[in-house]
């Protein structure tokens, strides 16, 4: 099946086939990352604008890296240096970037729905690099890609997402991808950050860490997002760690082969023990590396590339 | 002014329990039982065959943005939109710029109404100075300038102490207090109903409890002070339950529902279309059905639009940053007919009552009746005509309507104020 999508806004709207296509394309691109010459000419002559109106380190660098590996020209703009600080609207900023002949926009924005909003205004592809608490599709894709590398098919696999789910776009994108891939997903965390409404998305919600972690094959930790909380959703970070922090004892409840994931940035000693973050089961840095390959795949496909034509064989 | 003779209408006058084919007559802008043969000869005749003739519609909750936000709407343009929607009397909210918390601003509004309005526009004043919820506005002076109620609509007085004093003070003048029921501490940053849909969309939720708590507070304060509190744009089914029980006890509580809360639900927000963003937010199907049940059993008293114009460039934003509110006046009648008359099988005279006599009576306005001697404020409409609503071609200065581009059923053909045609089905005159 050919790839037909121009924008990547959500994983909710993607089919399982499309997710598989992105993953397959990412496998091919990942091979290039270990070569001595890492660049491929796929997007030579194209200009990609990374419009990051909310702070980001990993995602922005990974998109930057991915675009450069594809030989695209990259311009990165952040909130502080763009005209939004002078009162320019997102519509105007986006239209100006298009008028400057950019071929694609990667948008990170604090407002949910903002990527969809500019995708309706612009003719060029828009890649959502995180819109408020809504979705972060490339993160969901790289997380499920990493899981597949370790577990093979995710069908029937027990995945636990632990932490601040309410404010997490990473959780939402992972939920949509994992449910389509047939995984058994359980969300765990303080009840104020894991409302039961999430069950509507096809996942379980639990407030009992022990039973949730029992025999899980993947545990994905999420950072507590203080910056999005307007009132106290739990008493203190200390209490959070005491109730829900992942430590050695709790990690022993997992399936012996389980992997530990985190989209970063990690707060050592809060949601995860430092030792576990650096331990054998942690795939946190693999996620970061896979983030380049997956984003190469997304940029390549949305720019009009086809999955089967990724690259000449070596 | 010529005498008026409306012929062959289905005349519906809920106050008189009249629903029969017949004629309406007016002399010098007042309704009369009949015309003499000589008067008939000189009368302006309007053939209303196939049309309903009812009292001009009454809306006790509109925002006309004047003074200070005239890029969105003016008293002139708002009144023209009202006329096109069949309305002859509206009550406008005081959250203008500056807010209407003093006699001078009310004077300004009254002058603009006299100069620019094509229908009857009545002001309200603020409950608190600057609408800041900290000190009582000069309610006595406002009353003297002709406000029909006081309200901090758009905001809600958070201090129970201050609300209590406002109730006691306003009761002295028998002035109704309208309240926008929202506990601010529960709705920080909220942009839509809290529930499954907000969870999916990653938008911050506005729990119904924030409305229910203030509704309950207002019931308690009304019962303890004797003040009439009118609860604006009720959106939560739980609030309907609280109001129902209060009314069973005889509390001086009244309440309104908007056409959009009767017709729309929060699952329409999936595309982040800001023309579905309003405050209180659209809620669930269960809430919507309970609002209809509340109107049916009298728990809710009337339908009001909360007509809230905003320019395209203000609404065309990221969902979080767009202002709350939508137009309502030009679509209220067809939408209300669709939901209450056609879908919910309310009797047509009852629907008319909710749009005319009931809101007028709540605010003691001389409107909403076709009784002899009353002003000849009349709406003629075809309940079955289908028409394409294009908000850009409407009479409001703004076009922020979720119904734009849709075919609606039920169309206003003529609006008369004091026996004079102000809208002829095409033009506002």
- Which chain A residue has the Cα nearest residue B189? A230
Judge contact between B57 and B336, C-beta under 8 A.
Answer: no
Distance between CA atoms of residues A262 and A253, nearest Å = 18
pLDDT tens track, chain A, 314 positions: 899 999 999 999 999 999 999 999 999 999 999 899 889 999 999 999 999 999 888 899 999 999 999 999 999 998 776 766 778 899 999 999 999 999 999 999 999 999 999 999 999 999 999 999 999 999 999 999 999 999 999 999 999 999 999 999 999 999 999 999 999 999 999 999 999 999 999 999 999 999 999 999 999 999 887 766 656 788 888 899 999 999 999 999 999 999 999 999 999 999 999 999 999 999 999 999 999 999 999 999 999 988 876 654 44
Interface size A-B, in CB pairs within 8 Å, comes to 62
Judge contact between A233 and A195, C-beta under 8 A.
Answer: no
Distance between CA atoms of residues A50 and A127, nearest Å = 9
Parallel, antiparallel or unpaired: strands B406-417 and B378-389: antiparallel
Q: Is B386 exposed, middle or buried (0-12, 13-18, 19+ CB in 10 A)?
A: exposed
Q: Could B272 and A113 be called an inter-chain contact, meaning their C-beta atoms sit closer than 8 Å?
A: yes
Write the pLDDT tens digit of every residue in A148-185. 999 999 999 999 999 999 999 999 999 999 999 999 99
Is B6 contained in some domain?
A: no
User: Which of A109, A133, A230 lies nearest to residue B188, judging by beta carbons?
Assistant: A230
What confidence score (pLDDT) does residue A311 get? Answer: 52
Judge contact between B118 and B417, C-beta under 8 A.
Answer: yes
Q: What is the residue whose two structure tokens read 């604008």? A: A49
Is B417 contained in some domain?
A: no
Is B373 contained in some domain?
A: no
- Which chain B residue has the Cα nearest residue A132? B202
User: Which of A90, A132, A195 lies nearest to residue B199, judging by beta carbons?
Assistant: A195
| Domains detected in chain A | 16-136+291-309 (3.40.50.1370), 138-287 (3.40.50.1370)
What confidence score (pLDDT) does residue A313 get? Answer: 42
Q: Domain range holding B145?
A: 56-362
Cis peptide before B165 (omega within 30 of 0): no
pLDDT tens track, chain B, 429 positions: 779 999 999 999 999 999 999 999 999 999 999 999 999 999 999 999 999 999 999 999 999 999 999 999 999 999 999 999 999 999 999 999 999 999 999 999 999 999 999 999 999 999 999 999 999 999 999 999 999 999 999 999 999 999 999 999 999 999 999 999 999 999 999 999 999 999 999 999 999 999 999 999 999 999 999 999 999 999 999 999 999 999 999 999 999 999 999 999 999 999 999 999 999 999 999 999 999 999 999 999 999 999 999 999 999 999 999 999 999 999 999 999 999 999 999 999 999 999 999 999 999 999 999 999 999 999 999 999 999 999 999 999 999 999 999 999 999 999 999 999 999 999 999
What confidence score (pLDDT) does residue A26 get? Answer: 96
What confidence score (pLDDT) does residue B1 get? Answer: 73
Judge contact between B192 and B277, C-beta under 8 A.
Answer: yes
Distance between CA atoms of residues B1 and B383, nearest Å = 29
- How far apart are the CA of B60 and the nearest CA of chain A, in angstroms? 34
Q: What is the ipTM of this complex?
A: 0.94
User: Which of A91, A133, A134 lies nearest to residue B316, judging by beta carbons?
Assistant: A91
What domain count does chain B have? 1
- Which chain A residue has the Cα nearest residue B272? A113
Q: Could B202 and A112 be called an inter-chain contact, meaning their C-beta atoms sit closer than 8 Å?
A: yes
Q: Is B30 exposed, middle or buried (0-12, 13-18, 19+ CB in 10 A)?
A: middle
Q: What is the DSSP letter of B339?
A: I
> How many secondary structure helices (H) and strands (E) does chain A include?
11, 9
Q: Is A78 exposed, middle or buried (0-12, 13-18, 19+ CB in 10 A)?
A: middle
Judge contact between B231 and B253, C-beta under 8 A.
Answer: yes
- How far apart are the CA of B328 and the nearest CA of chain A, in angstroms? 25
Judge contact between A65 and A29, C-beta under 8 A.
Answer: no
- How far apart are the CA of A116 and the nearest CA of chain B, in angstroms? 8
- How far apart are the CA of A104 and the nearest CA of chain B, in angstroms? 20
What confidence score (pLDDT) does residue B13 get? Answer: 98
Q: What is the DSSP letter of B392?
A: G
Question: Choosing from B306, B353, B361, B418, which is the catalytic residue?
Answer: B306
- Note if B306 is an active site residue: yes
What confidence score (pLDDT) does residue A148 get? Answer: 98
Instruction: Please state, as a whole number, how many other Cβ atoms lie within 10 Å of the Cβ of residue A181.
Output: 21
> Which value, in Å, is the radius of gyration of the alpha carbons in chain B?
21
Is B252 contained in some domain?
A: yes
Q: Could A197 and B196 be called an inter-chain contact, meaning their C-beta atoms sit closer than 8 Å?
A: yes
Q: Could A113 and B318 be called an inter-chain contact, meaning their C-beta atoms sit closer than 8 Å?
A: yes
User: Which of B196, B202, B271 lies nearest to residue A200, judging by beta carbons?
Assistant: B196
Is B391 contained in some domain?
A: no
Contacts of B199 in chain A (CB under 8 A): 166, 195, 197-198, 200-201
Give the global pTM. 0.95
What confidence score (pLDDT) does residue A229 get? Answer: 63
Question: What would the 3-class secondary structure string for B239-277 be?
Answer: HHHHHHHHHHCCCCEEEEECHHHHHCCHHHHHHCCHHHC
Would you tell me the crossing angle of helices A137-151 and A169-180 to the nearest 10 degrees?
50
What confidence score (pLDDT) does residue A235 get? Answer: 86
Distance between CA atoms of residues A13 and A16, nearest Å = 10
Is B376 contained in some domain?
A: no
User: Which of A89, A133, A231 lies nearest to residue B202, judging by beta carbons?
Assistant: A133
CA proximity to A167, closest of A231, A218, A80:
A231
Contacts of B196 in chain A (CB under 8 A): 197, 200
CA proximity to A271, closest of A234, A228, A217, A216:
A234
Is B102 contained in some domain?
A: yes
Stretch 213-242 of chain A: residues touching chain B, C-beta under 8 Å: 230-231
CATH number at B61 reads 3.20.20.140
- Using DSSP's 3-state secondary structure scheme, residue B173 falls into coil
Is B385 contained in some domain?
A: no
For every residue of A73-84, DSSP letters joined together read EEEEEETTTSGG
- Which chain A residue has the Cα nearest residue B318? A114
Distance between CA atoms of residues B286 and B72, nearest Å = 33
Contacts of B200 in chain A (CB under 8 A): 12, 172, 200-201
Q: Could A197 and B316 be called an inter-chain contact, meaning their C-beta atoms sit closer than 8 Å?
A: no
Pairs from B141-147 (Cβ < 8 Å, separation ≥ 24): B141/B102, B141/B103, B142/B100, B142/B101, B142/B102, B142/B103, B142/B106, B143/B173, B143/B175, B144/B103, B145/B103, B145/B106, B145/B107, B145/B110, B146/B106, B146/B110, B146/B122, B147/B94, B147/B100, B147/B106, B147/B122, B147/B123, B147/B175
Q: Which two tokens stand for residue B156?
A: 């809600």
Residue B20: CB partners within 8 Å, gap ≥ 6?
A: B10, B11
The answer, for A32 touching chain B at a CB cutoff of 8 Å, is: no
């Amino acid at each position: 099946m050919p790839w037909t999508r121009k924008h990547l806004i959500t994983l909710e709207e993607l089919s399982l086939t499309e997710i598989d296509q992105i993953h397959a394309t990412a496998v091919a691109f990942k091979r290039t990352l270990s070569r001595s010459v890492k660049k491929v000419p796929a997007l030579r002559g194209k200009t990609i604008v990374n419009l990051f109106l909310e702070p980001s380190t990993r995602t922005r660098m990974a998109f930057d890296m991915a675009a450069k590996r594809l030989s695209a020209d990259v311009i990165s703009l952040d909130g502080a240096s763009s005209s939004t600080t002078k009162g320019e609207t997102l519509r105007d900023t986006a239209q100006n970037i298009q008028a400057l002949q950019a071929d694609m926009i990667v948008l990170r924005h604090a407002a949910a729905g903002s990527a969809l909003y500019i995708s309706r205004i612009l003719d060029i592809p828009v890649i959502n690099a995180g819109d408020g608490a809504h979705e972060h599709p490339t993160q969901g894709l790289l997380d499920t890609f990493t899981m597949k590398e370790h577990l093979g098919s995710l069908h029937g696999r027990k995945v636990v997402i632990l932490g601040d789910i309410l404010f997490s776009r990473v959780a939402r994108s992972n939920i949509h991808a994992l449910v389509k891939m047939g995984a058994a997903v359980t969300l765990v965390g303080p009840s104020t950050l894991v409302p039961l409404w999430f069950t509507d998305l096809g996942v379980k919600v639990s407030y009992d860490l022990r039973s949730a972690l029992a025999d899980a094959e993947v545990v994905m930790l999420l950072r507590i997002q203080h910056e999005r909380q307007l009132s106290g959703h739990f008493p203190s970070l200390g209490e959070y760690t005491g109730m829900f922090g992942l430590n050695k004892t709790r990690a022993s409840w997992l399936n012996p082969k389980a992997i530990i994931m985190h989209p970063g940035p990690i707060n050592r000693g809060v949601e995860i023990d430092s030792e576990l973050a650096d331990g054998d089961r942690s795939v946190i840095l693999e996620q970061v590396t896979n983030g380049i390959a997956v984003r190469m795949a997304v940029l390549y496909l949305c720019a009009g590339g086809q999955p089967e034509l990724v690259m000449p064989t070596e | 002014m010529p005498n008026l003779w409306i012929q062959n209408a289905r005349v519906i006058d809920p106050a008189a329990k009249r629903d029969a084919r017949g004629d309406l007559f007016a002399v010098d802008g007042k309704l009369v039982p009949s015309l003499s043969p000589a008067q008939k000869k000189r009368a302006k005749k309007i053939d209303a065959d196939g049309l309903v003739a009812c009292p001009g519609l009454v809306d006790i909750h509109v925002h006309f943005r004047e003074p200070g936000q005239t890029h969105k709407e003016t008293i002139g343009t708002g009144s023209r939109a009202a006329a096109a929607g069949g309305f002859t009397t509206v009550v406008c909210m005081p959250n203008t710029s500056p807010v209407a918390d003093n006699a001078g601003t009310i004077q300004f509004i009254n002058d603009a109404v006299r100069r620019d309005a094509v229908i009857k526009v009545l002001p309200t004043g603020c409950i608190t100075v600057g609408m800041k919820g900290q000190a009582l506005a000069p309610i006595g002076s406002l009353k003297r300038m002709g406000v029909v109620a006081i309200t901090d609509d758009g905001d809600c007085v958070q201090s129970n102490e201050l609300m209590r004093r406002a109730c006691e003070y306003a009761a002295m003048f028998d002035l109704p207090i309208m309240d926008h029921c929202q506990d601010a501490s529960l709705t920080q940053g909220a942009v839509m109903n809290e529930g499954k849909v907000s969870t999916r969309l990653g938008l911050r939720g506005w729990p119904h409890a924030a409305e229910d708590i203030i509704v309950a507070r207002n019931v308690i304060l009304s019962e303890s002070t004797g003040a009439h509190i009118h609860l604006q744009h009720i959106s939560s089914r739980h609030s309907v339950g609280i109001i129902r029980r209060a009314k069973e006890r005889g509390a001086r509580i009244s309440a309104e529902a908007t056409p959009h809360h009767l017709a729309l639900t929060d699952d329409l927000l999936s595309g982040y279309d800001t023309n579905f963003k309003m405050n209180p937010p659209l809620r669930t199907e269960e809430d919507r059905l309970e609002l209809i049940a509340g109107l049916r059993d009298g728990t809710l008293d009337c339908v009001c639009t909360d007509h809230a114009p905003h320019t395209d460039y203000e609404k065309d934003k990221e969902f979080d940053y767009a202002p709350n509110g939508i137009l309502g006046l030009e679509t209220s009648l067809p939408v209300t007919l669709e939901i209450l008359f056609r879908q919910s099988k309310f009797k047509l005279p009852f629907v008319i009552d909710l749009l005319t006599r009931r809101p007028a009576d709540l605010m003691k306005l001389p409107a909403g009746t076709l009784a002899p001697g009353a002003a000849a404020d009349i709406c003629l409409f075809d309940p079955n005509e289908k028409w394409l609503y294009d908000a850009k071609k409407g009479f409001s200065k703004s076009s922020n309507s979720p119904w734009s581009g849709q075919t609606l059923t039920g169309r206003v053909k003529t609006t008369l104020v004091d026996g004079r045609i102000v809208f002829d089905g095409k033009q506002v005159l």
